[in-house]
Amino acid sequence: MSGALKEVRNRIKSVQSTQQITKAMKMVSAAKLRRAQDAVTQMRPYAKKLQEMLSNIVSSSDGDVSMDLAAERPIEKVLIIVVTSDRGLCGGYNSNLIKLAKQLIKEKYERQDDKGNVQVLPIGKKGYEYFTKNGFKVVNTYWDIFSDLRFERVQAAAKYAMDAFANKEFDAVEVIYSEFKNAASQTYIAEPFLPVQKVAKSENNKKSDFIFEPNQQVLIEELMPKILNTQLYKAVLDANASEHGARMTAMDKASDNANELLKSLKISYNRARQAAITTELTEIVSGAAALQG
C-alpha cells in the first residue's frame, strides 16, 4: 500500500509543477497580449481607411493609368501567405490556420495545385515546418519574422509578393491569418492581397471623384505599395495578438484541468491512506487478540 501512496504523491507533485508552469505561461501571455492588442487596435482604423482609399482609386481609374498591382488576369500561379506562430501550446490556433490554407487550395485553387503552381509563403515557424514537411512549395525566406517583429521585416515579405506579382510570377496572392477579436475569440480569415480589389459597384455606390496632385499615375505608384505594406503588417499584428490570446486561454483551461485532476488525485490519495490505516489497525487488533488468546 505504501507503494501506491508514493505513486499518487508523485503524481500530485507532477501535476502541481505543471500547473505552476501553465499559470506562469498564462501571465506572460496576458502581459504580451496587452501590448499586442494595443498595437493592432491603433493600426486598424488607419489600415481600414487606407484600404478603402486604395480600392476607390483603383475602381475610379477606368483604365486611365497603368496599375500592375491591380491587373486582373487568368489565374495560373498562386502565392498563399500563411501567418502562423513560432511556438505551440496555444490550443488549435495553428492547426486551424493550416486547415484553412489547405481548404482554400482545395476549394479555390485545386486546378493550379494539380499543376504544381501553388506556393506557400509561411510567416511563423509552425507553418513553415508543416508546409515544408508535407511537400508544399515553400518560400522559405520570411518565416522567422516573429523573432523580431518590425514593420521593415513585414515590408520585405510584402515587397517580395508585389514584385513577383508585377513580374507575372503569380497571378493571385492571398493572405491567411487570424483576426483578433478578444482573448477567447479569433476569426480565421483568407482574404485576397493581390490583385488589389475594386469596390463593388451598386446603385448607391457612385464613382469617387478624386483630384490628383501630383498626377494619378505617380500617386498610385507611390501609394499602392505603401498601402499594401500596411495591410500585411496589420494582418501580422492581428495574428500576433491572436496567438497570445489563444495561448492565454489554452493555459487558463490547462490550469483548470490541473485543478480538477489534483482534486481527483487527492481523493485517491486520501482513500489509499485510509485503507492503509485501516489495514494497520486491523493487524494491531488481530495481533493483540492473538496475544490474549
Closest of 140, 194, 137 to residue 170, by C-alpha: 194
Task: Round to whole Å and give the CA distance between 180 and 245.
Answer: 8
The contacts of residue 44 (CB under 8 Å, 6+ apart) are: 234
Strand partners, 178: 188
Residue reference for cell 485545386: 110
What letter represents residue 135's amino acid? G
Per the residue annotation, which of 90, 172, 176, 239 is the catalytic one? 90
Q: Is 152 a catalytic residue?
A: no
Catalytic center residues:
90
